[in-house]
Chain A
Amino acid sequence: MTAHLKQNKLDKRNVLDGMQQGIIGKPISRSEGLLKVTGKATYAAEYHLENCLEGVIVTAPFAKGRVTVIDESSVMEMPGVITVISDERMIARAAQGTAGAAPLQKACDVDYWGQPIALVVAESFEEARNAAKHLHIEFEVEDAIFDASEVEVEPQDGATQQGDLAQAMAEAEHSVDISYTTEGHASAAMEPHAAIADWDGETLTVRASLQMLNYNIGELADSMDLDESKVRLISRYVGGGFGSKLGISQEVVAASIAAMQLGRPVRVVMSRQQVFQTIMRRSETTQRLRLAADANGRLTGFGHEALVSNLPGEGFAEPVTQSSEFLYAGENRLLKIDIARIHRMTAGSVRAPGEAVGMPALEAALDELAEKAGIDPVELRLRNIPEEHPATGTPFSSHKLAECLQQGAKAFGWDSGPRKPRNRREGEWWIGTGVASAARVHIVSQARARVTLQADGTALVETDMTDIGTGTYTILGQIAGEMLGLAQEQVKVELGDTRHPRGSGSGGSWGAASVGSAVFVACEAIRAKIASQLGISADMELTLKDSTVSWDEGKKSLSDIIDGKDIAREGHYEPGDITEDYAASGYGAFFVEVAVNRWTGETRMRRMTGAFGFGRVLNEKTARSQCLGGMVWCIGSALTESLLFDPRDGHLVNCDLAEYHVPVNRDIPDLDVIMVEERDPAASPIQAKGIGELGMCGGAGAIANAIYNACGARMHDFPMTPDRVLAAMPDE
């Protein structure tokens, strides 16, 4: 039986707060944690299937053109080689998030350097790898453009044009007009993309590392021209996603074709280099920020324009201005994004698409405005929090930016006195501080989950939702346990299998609120069933705690009520009018202290405080970890992360973890996380919003502002590497 809730209204009942089990929100350790710390959690490539073959992908050593010959005979005599796959169904690019259908196929037509073109299958990995290196291919190369500044750009739909920004700039008491650049980023999840495909003649089962099985099943079925009922995807543990595993990637389809053709399971694991070369990049951006303010620092004009890039035919454009739409006031507004079609690998979602690069530029520009206006940068932000969505007039549901700025400033010990660069020096290091706001639009999607109160008094939660390190296993157990009066250990959560009801998938920070609401809806239905079984009216207070049900007139153990018969309900949550009627977002504030070396330009993080309001905290421990992770990403994108392309042939130069610099342990100082209490009635019936991305929306701007405050270098290009800081540093 399915219980359905389409959320058309605010949910101010705060049902979870009225429950008695007392586990919701608590810092409970991850329910799958012991498996992870002892090496017993099984990731995509780690299933042992009898007779499994190994496949190694061959990629194009050129950026644009056509593969004319794949000479299978060049490797077929090599030891262990079984076959070479260069099927037209192979996908040329990974699917974009929520595609639900096959991405571009026909891999012999090449659009970027490193595009997969064939799969060599052999008995062992070593044999397949060796043969892949020796596969003879012929190709015709065409000219291609790799730099966004060299092509005509296409404007994206959805621009905001309101009032007259140019006039506002001309009339402003204080204004800034600054251009910024940001380089491309890689998700660089620690687990490389991997798939084991198995065809039993009826069903294609693929164990893969994917974030959104609810869409991925359609993508794979469409790619293989199979009915969805013939496809099963399993992703129980995902070694990090960050957007890179939203859609199916090339190894999933290649393994599937091979397995169906050979009648044996086939494992394909991408090399780290292949992951860098063929999976989604975050686009580089060029941005122009124009901010106009009156004498009090109140914004009268707000302009944010961006140029991003992608391959021809891709619908995704880095949504750089996403938070600029609503974060600050300013009646004269111009927000627009242009896209350039170039031949670098597919651009797609990398953690916090849009905000991750748009907000640092905005927050850095705001710092320059604050300096010009002589207003403390925290105060300037507080003065410009709009009453309602500044473009659409839509009311905000719940809005914690002011509280985040204030609580963060207090915890950090923010000095609101006059700010001047080079005020503090320790040896050869200049010390400075900076602030930035955080905002990440809240999204929910429809989701289904089945909850079964089992005869033995435990509960089972099933959905094809994934846990990519986000804590889904744990929080779904907490929601069900809270609603059904069970301890965390009495709730078993099964995820990552398309045999379960369709969840929301992990992406866009919408997983917890969406699938959590589905579990909540199912549990409400189970509670109603219990009430009816007891013959009491549904609206009577029912207390479920420690496996016991009590009400006004009585008390009974859950197992007595169940009486040997499972109670199963599928919860189906759907966002309704609420998403149009209210502008819901997570908010936050970053405060950082950096040290900048006066001789080398090196920036070292000294401390960082993040204060975030994201609705109900479902688990203090895992939510805090999400915030920490976001802040670490802020530091990486601020200081070191940058995809570098060879301008001659378009190949990614730094395609591994030695040359693409994600933060290491010693790059990260003490990080202080403040979670600002909030119940957002528009966010979801569990009053929760997303937290996976908020923590990295804007923090790099705080670091830029701190670098300026430390040493006087105004940084307009990210990442702020030592050479760039040194070049921007004024003479002493």
Chain B
Amino acid sequence: MVAVPEVLARSDSGRALRGGARIDVRRVCHQFALRGATLPVLQDIHFAVEPGEFVALLGPSGCGKSTLLRLVAGLDKPTQGTLHADGAEITGPDPSRVVVFQDPTLYPWRTVRGNVGVGPEAQRRRRGWRRDALHDQTQDRIDAVLQLVGLSEFADAFPHQLSGGMAQRVALARALVNDPALLVLDEPFGKLDSLTRIRMQGELARLWQGAGFSVLLVTHDVEEALLLADRVIVLSERPARIVAEVRNDAPYPRHRDDPKLVALRREVLAQLGLDT
């Protein structure tokens, strides 16, 4: 992982380098309809992500964390309450808030480069940009992002030729190429082997420090949350409520065996009812 290339640091919208979106989640409740019955998933969730902040949502499996992420991304609408990005209500998906899911979900018919270019391509049509005007610039950005995640040599490979870790890097590159104000990560390293996961956690922390975006990370891994986030929001079992907020101001790069992190880890586990 190298320093963030200039192409990426320069922001199209003129956003300050150390910027990022401010996200407000206001009194959100959500429920699913299942065979006539209603299943409450989120209960009175209220928190904010400051510009440039790294917030982790930590909770047991199936508690509704991913549902909350879908609301933040604008893929679903909450039953009650509102969500705001930089003060404007979130009504639909927007490329300034990009999601990286647990599965890389690359398009198998596109090469790595084609997959990373999906965002610019989709937005070019939306904004009616002329095909050639920004083409070179877009290609440069794609190259830079691929270099950032260390996959320059695999630009023309197809997804089925990649390992799990490489595919997840491509997914990350596909998000980063849009110059997002908020990166929404849904257990992005959940399916990777532990060595790859440790390496990618380090890379993510460095990426976040170098470029200007806020991060909302969903995870059930206490260590991962403490290693990466400024602030950990602990959620209960379904229906999810906020049980606790743990602020972690340890400097980066952090180490797993830092006594401060170990103490915080005990505190968080206690909040989850897993005191040992």
Tell me if chain B binds chain A: no
A interface residues, Cβ below 8 angstroms from B: none
B interface residues, Cβ below 8 angstroms from A: none
